[in-house]
A and B are shown apart, each in its own frame.
Chain A
Amino acid sequence: EAEVAQSPRYKITEKSQAVAFWCDPISGHATLYWYRQILGQGPELLVQFQDESVVDDSQLPKDRFSAERLKGVDSTLKIQPAELGDSAMYLCASSPNTGITGELFFGEGSRLTVL
């Protein structure tokens, strides 16, 4: 069964360091999402791509976060510099359509701890 792949699963870093997360969506899925989930809360959308284009990054803290999906397939989310408040689970999801039905397929997530 096709899955969304994410790496690394776990990352521990010190504040002010740079961090990068990678996501490979299900093959053929045009829409890719990065969500952040703080412990005890629901996922919060950071950025959404349609193919290689950003369609929503209104909640992405652009002073320190960046995301790209250069060839419209896999994607990288970067944080530089990391802050203590960035500790969270970073979830990647993909969808086979333009988001009309809202069905998302998630990876296992990347858990970030900033010390």
Chain B
Amino acid sequence: TQLLEQSPQFLSIQEGENLTVYCNSSSVFSSLQWYRQEPGEGPVLLVTVVTGGEVKKLKRLTFQFGDARKDSSLHITAAQPGDTGLYLCAGAKAGGFKTIFGAGTRLFVKA
């Protein structure tokens, strides 16, 4: 059974701090996505990583895919209150149709 574990489950930080959240699995994925979800809304796609070791940057967000394509991290530099939300990682296996989600990391950035 595929399982994506995210850590930490909850993170509360001050505006301006840096943070890293993790997504780990024992399975290999052909691609991995990060989504951000605000309360009462659907998840919004942030980024897709497909190559082992790949690093992608989206303004203050840096995403990395592990060399073995089993894990990923999201680093936020100088967090802002607008970064508050639930960050979900999701993985898709090669040739398969099913995308599975982790339980998410709930981030709260205090002004």
A-side interface residues toward B, CB under 8 Å?
A: 4, 31, 33, 35, 40-45, 48, 50, 55-56, 91, 93, 98-109, 111
Contacts and interface: CB of A to CB of B under 8 A. Distances in A.
Given A101-B31, A102-B33, A106-B42, A42 B102 contact: yes
Given A31-B97, A104-B33, 16 more contacts: A42-B104, A43-B101, A44-B101, A45-B98, A45-B100, A56-B98, A91-B43, A98-B97, A99-B92, A99-B96, A99-B99, A101-B92, A103-B48, A106-B35, A108-B40, A111-B40
A44 B43 CA distance: 13
Q: Give 10 closest A-B pairs by Cβ, nearest first.
A: A102-B92, A106-B42, A42-B101, A99-B97, A102-B99, A42-B103, A43-B101, A109-B42, A101-B31, A102-B31
Interface of B: 4, 6, 30-33, 35, 40-45, 48, 50, 88, 90-92, 94-104
Nearest to A107: B42
A39 to B, nearest CB: 10
15 contacts: A33-B99, A35-B101, A42-B102, A48-B98, A91-B42, A99-B97, A102-B31, A102-B32, A102-B90, A102-B91, A103-B48, A104-B43, A107-B42, A108-B41, A108-B42
Contacts of B6: 42
B7 to A, nearest CB: 13
Contacts of A55: 97
Contacts of A103: 31, 33, 45, 48
A102 B88 CA distance: 13
